A and B are shown apart, each in its own frame.
Chain A
């Protein structure tokens, strides 16, 4: 519709120029609004990768369009490639260590049944609901974010 009004303008209907200009401004504004809305959604989806990890909970995926899921998959692949390229052989997981470390070991309570969990020196811990443990901080970060463990602050 925009292009047809342009050809009308070329045919010399001077009185329509203002209307065409006005309509074009409206179209531009609509375009800006649409893009702003879509872009804002993308930014939120991006934040999800940093908060939840590479697998999104189903309830959230349900609210995403197919193209958004595709965008998310490409984003996390791009991020993974970058993280792998930094830091030694395995790369550096930038989604860990979000807060400065205060202590080595932390008290955690298990919020739901998770099963067995292995820590560095080879011992395995059984994570059952409501059990409390004193575990190395760096091992727990991922699970805390996923909601499996809860950091107990005394």
Chain B
């Protein structure tokens, strides 16, 4: 068995997550992400490394998507509708529901660009989603007769899951992105003690010592509050679904507690949409939200209202969540342009921005932006970066390893140099191998699988009857014929095997020559041998046949005179394999020679 993992995509945190795992002859692709930083072929993983092995649909047994972020699912419609993969795709129910929204969002941004070809259409997104098989948590899904998968809760975002992939007794766990600490709306990742042969874990924050979440939240609220107090407007560019909901809950509770009056708006249409999905998938949120849901739905915000374009010009303070998250188009950019010139206002960027976007520019400190038509936009408003994304840190990764007890660990999504520390720690603490393959590198892991074998009832009974009574503590040796057919192993009696395979039985006899010194006639020598054996082997049936040969059970002994030396007799001893022990015993007995005088 070899489980090889290679990433046709880049392994940075905004990169294309895409891992290929071969386990016991099955090939599974884990995630199919895109790189937001490129506008050409480089945005998708290079699938030609897989197509070298023949048609994709024939080569891959299935594709598994861990969650709806584009760096994990963005290339999926391209892969299934344009590259031509037509096999099964698995993801959780919420991921299947939310994925198309984000894909549509991204498609919009992309086709907005001129001359954009080689990109999927809305119809393709739909056709792709129709191929997806949605799975429940902890439900064992049989992909085919040998391959099964199972999803575990991963926190991170709504619907995010870790997947266990199992073929026979070999298994791999892929974590996707996960979070080991519960937050305001999601719970913590959890997995069985499933002891996989390999755990593939993300390690985005493997080396980041993050300031406490509470601190970050306090800081965020303080900044928003201060701005609103001095009459300024706060813009928070976000993606449609995901961490935005966490921030909404945070602000909503704060507004409630502080009894604030400034309005909070969320990009129109999206509040309803988000609300809809969180209601639909309430079981995927954390305990607190689920418990209070009956009395009050946490996502039905009292203070957060739908945004209208006209509100941006309203005087007075306000907080607006607007899409898209990198300030590169649409509503968020429109509002940014209106508010940028006023130093009382603030923009809070809660996520990563790719190079070239306004978001990236202002985060890197640029304050004079050249907009189209050579207009210069002077940014006087305050610019803040605040990360709220939910990944496991080094402590969380160790915790998950402790939970799952894997035999090997493979870290992806991180810089090799920085991860070295974590790798050492894992190896020291858990005494398992830890790998960190670079992009495009294959890691091979050897395992000693125990292979289940079916045994025929007849054989079992027959073998059980022989020898001591079966004892659970003592392993019992059984004899039979191993049939390997159609990927299954069966132990059957030799007769049955012959019958099934349509083979004729052949008898194998072992023959051995023993020279003894005896000048007498041949038949006298035979008689001497017969008497000797009869004396030694009291429990066996020793016979002297009329043709001059001796049999001891199935063993046959004949004597001839040596062609050159009449004083030497040659004993031909032959036996079947069933009597091998007795045969070799007899030969060694005869080799010692005959007793000097026999009566």
A and B are interacting partners: no
Q: Which residues of A contact B (CB under 8 A)?
A: none
